[in-house]
A and B are shown apart, each in its own frame.
Chain A
Amino acid sequence: MNRRRFLGLAGAAAAVTALSASPAEAGKAKTGGKAAAAAKKNEEFVAILVDTTRCIGCRECEVACAEVHGLPVPVPAKDGALAAHRDTSTDHWTVVNRFETDKGTVFVKKQCMHCGQPACAAACPTNAMEKTHEGPVIWHGDRCMGCRYCMMACPFDIPKFEYNSPNPRIRKCIMCYDRLQEGKLPACVEACPRDALTFGTKKELMEIARERIYNNPDEYVHHIYGEFEAGGTDWLYLSAVPFTQIGFREDLGTDTYPDYTREFLYSVPLVFLGFPPLLYGLSELTKRSGEGSEGGEG
């Protein structure tokens, strides 16, 4: 924890926190808690801003994530994992990939985007995928029946399923929901040595992101990925190069996922109310004289 980073966090959360924080650890902890509390109070989701121009590909975020969630811990210095583009998996909830772009090498962290109105939660028949009030999208093992419709629906292909387990779970980044409850920061944010990750509410982070673009108009493309994509996500990305060059899809549209099925779902009660009387009426109209109302032989 250095002072520069601490102030960055404080700015992202609340100024009050910065003033009241004397020991660095406590201040950090409070910052996370304050942002979460503010999120609840203002009905603002917590969010994380990724500045890909700052990422050096050290993969400390991967290490921290694995340690906190009890996953196999990668060894960035030795495993050479940056050689190929990796996807997140049941054991790796976040991965950093290297992209060669017009402006040189760019490292991009990938994990669940924590959509504002997530496809996975809209798809889930048991509410096992839940968009919490605070913002993180989490999974409830006691509700999930393993239908994997969340995986079908997710535009970012994030939920991963344990195919080789008789008691399989859906695994993905949960934005360290439990740590947030304890007032701590997400593990990856805490671990990042270059301030590539900033934690705060989405509103605050949008301001920070816009400010960075405004102050350095030549360093960034003038687009904040996640502001509107798939209806808006709680992970936001800044980039020096067009997002398609660093592995993002720009064809997802800005509609929220519940919008795709809203009309169909609205029609359901109408059909339920309308069809039976219509069918009964048809049946009466087409009945021949002398026939009973029971509709004949089973």
Chain B
Amino acid sequence: MATSADSMTQRQSVWEFLKGELKPKGPVLTPFNVITGFIILGGLVLTALRFWKGLGYVTNLNQAYPWGLWIGFDVMTGVAFAGGAYIITFAVYVLHAEKYHPIVRATVLNGFLSYVFYAGALTLDLGRPWHIINPIIGNKFGYNSILFLVAWHFLLYMISEAIEFSPVVAEWLDLEKARRILNKMTLGVVIFGVTLSSLHQSGLGALFLFSKPKLHPLWYTEFLPVLFLISSIFAGISMIIFEGTISHKVFADRIDPSSHHSYEDIVFGLAKGAAITMYVYLFVKFVIFVHGQHWSYLGTKWGAWFLVEVLIFTLVPCAFFTHGYRQRRLGLIRVAAVMTLVGIVLNRLNVSMIAFNWNNPAHYIPSVWEVWITLMVVFTEIWVFRWAVNRMPVLSAKPAASRH
């Protein structure tokens, strides 16, 4: 990187540099690469079939379940998991919690890519994706539609995150002037991004306000937007902890040694933040439950399933976060993060698929191919994330090699 950076003054060499950067680094035929590569290639074939033959060819979607795994997991859950970016940028740039600065870049990159791939997976699910520009170019705005709002926010937030991350790209390409200009935009786009995030994270919940006659009463509440917003906070934090745990193993050589000391401190701070928001979430959920007088449902199988989500995968990890923070036990916090992520998956799938149409004889179980394409989306995101981390100054703020 250093040698190519020296000759960057000439335009031609930029392309050569980029071409060089596109080449894989490290061993290619690792088990991970082979398996995920197979899934991605197979997924591309499935995607082609889906557009050629229609959604029914690869999915088990039906008239009673128009939204399946691709919306319930990819979009609903994926966007909640990507919530870490707005939480961390809020903490660092708005609240000046400098402690979290070392994880900003990785979190923003992960958030950005999550939106591009998971929210982008929406286009696979659209029956007539060539009309996706309609709500954007103003060919009939559905102003009163929550989905219109969410779609616009996705788009604007992706742009905000791209700008938030852009100084890193400028640094990578050694464009010092651009980096300084882009850096100046950071606070502005962070404020914009936090505003957008709070609206579309809650907006995803608001999508189901129409589901009153269809969604099980244990999950349906007019406060769904509030629940989705609060849960996106601890979902995002848990994802940062989870992603950080893996990144620290996989990209150990890319990490600035000085950040190793602060890393544990960061995780303990995150654990505390997750625990507090989870207490708030559980409290709100409890008030809604009591207020709705849903006690009688607890004895049913739906009640048991509700308790699995709320007690085992929300209350228990919340307690683990609390204990892990107090006793400074990193391992316990990591377990809590994984459990919380499972809880978020359950919650989003319950609202959008499982407890949806509970009173309808129709049923939906995702097809193998739906799961496959979802895995394709996840692994492609991981590949791009890995590509960027291995080349750009993401995990270390200022790699010595690329600076003059």
Contacts from A to B (Cβ < 8 Å): 87, 89, 119, 122-128, 140-149, 151-153, 155, 157, 160-168, 249, 251-253, 257-258, 260-261, 264-265, 268, 271-272, 275-276, 279-280, 282-283, 286-288, 291, 293-298
Contacts and interface: CB of A to CB of B under 8 A. Distances in A.
B299 interface: no
A145 B211 contact: no
Contacts of A287: 96
A87 B90 CA distance: 50
Interface stretch (B18-26, B159-167, B301-309, B313-321): B159-167
Contacts of B213: 155, 249, 251-253
Contacts of A268: 149, 199
A244 B14 CA distance: 71
A251 B213 CA distance: 7
Interface string B41-58: 000000000011111110
A125 B151 contact: yes
A124 to B, nearest CB: 5
Given A146-B131, A164-B57, A286 B146 contact: no
Interface string B178-197: 01001110110011101100
A145 B195 contact: no
B63 A145 contact: no
Given A89-B63, A162-B54, A119 B192 contact: no
- For chain B, the bracket of interface size reads 35 or more
Given A123-B210, A152-B66, A258-B144, A168 B191 contact: no
Contact of B191 (A140, A279, A296): A279
Q: 6 closest Cβ contacts across the A-B interface? A: A146-B127, A298-B167, A163-B56, A148-B66, A125-B148, A146-B128
B63 A124 contact: no
21 contacts: A123-B146, A123-B147, A123-B210, A124-B147, A125-B148, A126-B139, A126-B142, A128-B140, A144-B131, A147-B122, A149-B207, A163-B61, A253-B212, A264-B225, A276-B191, A280-B187, A280-B191, A283-B93, A295-B186, A296-B98, A298-B182
B183 A166 contact: no
> Chain B CB within 10 Å — which of A140, A157, A282 has the most?
A157
A294 B140 contact: no
B19 to A, nearest CB: 25
Given A145-B126, A157-B64, A298 B187 contact: no
Contact of A298 (B95, B122, B140, B164): B164
- Majority-rule SS of A interface residues: loop
A160 B64 CA distance: 9
A141 B212 CA distance: 28
B145 interface: yes
B311 interface: no
B209 A261 contact: yes
Contact of A166 (B54, B63, B101, B151): B54
A253 B220 CA distance: 15
B37 interface: no
Contacts of B145: 122-125, 149
A274 to B, nearest CB: 9
B55 A293 contact: no
Contacts of A286: 94-96
A149 B53 contact: no
Nearest to A276: B191
Nearest to B186: A295
